[in-house]
A and B are shown apart, each in its own frame.
Chain A
Amino acid sequence: MSRSDQSRSGAWTVRLALGLVAIVAVLAVAGPALAPYDPLAQDTALALHGSSPAHLLGTDYLGRDVLSRLLAGAPASLLSALAAALIGLLVGALPGALSAFLPRPAEWLALRVVDALLALPFILFAIVFAALLGNGLVQATTAIGLLIAPGFFRISRAATLRVRDAQYVEAATLLGASAWWVLGRHAWRQVAPTLVVAGISALGSALLAVASLTFLGIGVQPPAPTWGGMLASDLGYLAQRPEGPLAPALAIVLTVGALNLLADAVRDRTGAARVRHRAGANRKETADV
């Protein structure tokens, strides 16, 4: 993997990513309050203007202030991504860990269900799910969360299987420990760091998915601002205002990029810790970590 490359590129990228994520987190809560104008206020005389002191990021096709819409759209875009990632974590992680202790036929069936969920074309299914069940942000978020869950299932299952085969866990099982005991006592600590890393990158993909859905007009109805929806409306006016999509696109890309950097950094730290922790065990899989 490119892990050594990442650690070589130093701590400043991590700090940059942390800073960006912190800013985005603040915007997710306080965005609408910081908006200089009403994000819905139209002024058609000012439509499709470029950057100016009054409107730092210009105005859209209805003369609405782009900066205000960007700030006001932050909660819908960011908090629903957070909710989707949490749904995925809750629905996927525990069953994934438990599946390592299932009897063979049940395990086979569980894996096929997960395979089936992974075979669903992600965005297509999310669109259909949200649109058929009422086309709201709650439906869109639920759909994305459920589609992220199989990823968490596999990650936590893989991490649990590694622990399950460790000798001290075998010893515990021989002494009569139940699956729940092994999970709560032994596996949990090994699986948690992996899940944190997976959670951060899932947050990034959830954000992309939310942006894709709102771009297609699903989840949020038109006048309400979202980053994806802003991109879609700017797309119709590329000839008049070619720099239009830049602001919402940058907001999406920078947030996702920062989350990915952060996930890599956390993986580096915890991965290193795990290698050290397991060095004594001298097991084959330490080479992979």
Chain B
Amino acid sequence: MSVVTEPGTETGPAAGAAPAVRPDAGRTAPARHPLLAVAGRVLATAATAATVFVIATFATFALGAASGSNPAAVALGEVATQADIDRLNHVFGLDRPFLVRYFDWLGSALTGDLGTSWFTTIPVSTSIAQAFPVSLSIATGATLCALVGGSALGILAAVNRGGILDRVVTVLSSIATTVPAFVVAIALILLFGHAIPLFPVAGYVPPTKDVGAWLTCLVLPSVALSLDAGADIARQLRTSLVGALTENYVIGARVHGLSPARIVFRHALPNATAPALSALGVHVPRLVGGAVITEVIFGMPGLGRLANTSALQGDVPVVQGVLLVAIAVVVVSGVVINLAIRRSTGTGRNAA
């Protein structure tokens, strides 16, 4: 399932999409063998994820079809005659019914064939294979920044609840949600391009060439992209950790004489991670989508830039291919995050 319970908006028992699946799993689980229950849950998650994937890719494919763009117009421009259009439409199989084309496209996409570009006739999968590592590096870097920075600030704020540090974190996180990624990116370029030339402000170096250069060129885009998600994680973690720290078992641990660090990290934190994880889950589609702007600003040849230029050219197969990959990334990371949340709430129940 791609979407995890959105923090903040879901105050009641109706946590958006989740309850529609969970009650069934919950009802049948105790009666069955534990392994069967796990298998059932995995199957249910996979079925949901697959449904979401099919609907989302269908929307993408329909969009391409609705654009009215055709290979002759893209490749030949204004001089294309009706005969050219018909001929190329036939070559690319566009004279077949819409649903046939969709399932054909989806079927070959699952085997790694995404068709060829109308503009360059390069296979779409080749272009994507070149651009994907760039985007994956930025998105992973941003996720790491958001997780590490957000958790550190959230924990600091929760431990110093009501103190100056807590207020500083609250103010910082509300500023970070307001400032868009491209403004942060420009500020970073100004700071590091002119004042402190510590990190490169443009370009991408693949890790196969130079790992050090690869890491440094990722720093600024990752930071720029991570602020929004990091702020949300910090806020969610602070709230849930403050709640966990007032529970009886924490007081018990304190009475036992455990060190504050052990109480926070071993006892309270594992029970407080679920909301922060769902915040991350909500942000994954935004991280994947927001990478476009970061890529353009920092001059990185990633998926976002590929989609941007192809969309402006009307090169439908490339656009559809990029979106399919992006949707797959979002759906898969949604499943992973949901499993992580289930694990963390599971341990929470055991500990409490």
Contacts and interface: CB of A to CB of B under 8 A. Distances in A.
Interface of A: 1-2, 5, 100, 107-108, 111-129, 131-133, 135, 151, 154-155, 157-159, 161-162, 165, 198, 204, 208, 211-212, 215-216, 218, 228, 231, 235, 238-239, 242, 245, 249, 252-253, 256-257, 260, 284-285, 288-289
Of A108, A120, A260, A289, most B-chain CB atoms within 10 Å: A120
By secondary structure, the A interface counts as helix
A123 B3 contact: no
Contacts of A208: 180
A158 B11 contact: yes
B56 A239 contact: no
Given A120-B56, A127-B307, A132-B319, A154 B9 contact: yes
Contacts, number: 196
Contacts of A235: 186, 189, 297
A252 B292 contact: no
Contacts of B322: 124
A5 B59 contact: no
Nearest to B167: A5
Contacts of A127: 292, 307-308, 311
A216 B177 CA distance: 21
Nearest to A204: B178
Interface of B: 1-3, 6, 8-17, 20, 48, 51-56, 59-60, 63-64, 66-67, 69, 167, 170, 174-175, 177-180, 182-183, 186, 189-190, 193-194, 235, 239, 285-286, 288-293, 296-297, 304, 307-308, 311-312, 314, 316, 319, 322-323, 326-327, 330-331, 334
Nearest to B19: A161
A111 B18 CA distance: 9
Given A231-B186, A245-B183, A123 B289 contact: yes
Question: What 9 A-B pairs come out closest when comparing CB atoms?
Answer: A121-B289, A161-B14, A131-B311, A116-B55, A132-B67, A119-B2, A116-B56, A123-B289, A162-B12
A78 to B, nearest CB: 15
B10 A158 contact: yes
A231 B177 CA distance: 19
5 contacts: A118-B3, A124-B304, A133-B63, A239-B194, A253-B178
B194 A242 contact: yes
Nearest to B329: A121
A124 B312 CA distance: 13
Contact of A121 (B12, B16, B180, B285): B285
A120 B285 contact: yes
A115 B1 contact: yes
A208 B227 CA distance: 15
Given A5-B170, A112-B55, A132 B69 contact: yes
Given A285-B12, A288-B12, A117 B59 contact: yes
Given A119-B52, A131-B312, A125 B289 contact: yes
A132 B66 CA distance: 9
B331 to A, nearest CB: 6
A144 to B, nearest CB: 12
Contact of A119 (B290, B293, B331): B331
A157 B16 contact: yes
Contacts of B186: 231, 235, 238, 245, 249
A114 to B, nearest CB: 7
A113 B2 CA distance: 11
Of A113, A216, A256, most B-chain CB atoms within 10 Å: A216
B51 A288 contact: no
Given A119-B334, A242-B190, A285-B13, A124 B182 contact: no
Given A122-B285, A122-B289, A154-B16, 18 more contacts: A107-B20, A112-B55, A115-B2, A115-B17, A116-B53, A117-B56, A119-B56, A121-B323, A127-B308, A128-B311, A132-B69, A154-B9, A158-B12, A216-B292, A216-B293, A218-B308, A239-B194, A256-B180
Contact of B323 (A113, A125, A155, A256): A125
Contacts of A111: 16-17, 20
B136 to A, nearest CB: 14
A119 B170 contact: no
A133 B17 contact: no
A157 B14 contact: yes
Nearest to B327: A119
Contacts of A112: 17, 48, 51-52, 55
Nearest to B305: A216
Contact of B326 (A124, A133, A239, A249): A124
Given A5-B170, A111-B17, A124-B288, A119 B330 contact: yes
Nearest to B330: A119
A119 B11 contact: no
Contact of B194 (A119, A165, A238, A289): A238
Given A115-B3, A212-B293, A128 B55 contact: no
Contact of A128 (B239, B290, B307): B307
B307 to A, nearest CB: 6
Contacts of B291: 124
Of A127, A157, A238, most B-chain CB atoms within 10 Å: A127
B162 to A, nearest CB: 9
B167 to A, nearest CB: 8
Contacts of B60: 120, 125
Nearest to A1: B239
B312 A135 contact: yes
B8 to A, nearest CB: 7
Contacts of A218: 308, 312
A252 B180 contact: yes
Contact of B190 (A122, A124, A125, A238): A238
A233 to B, nearest CB: 12
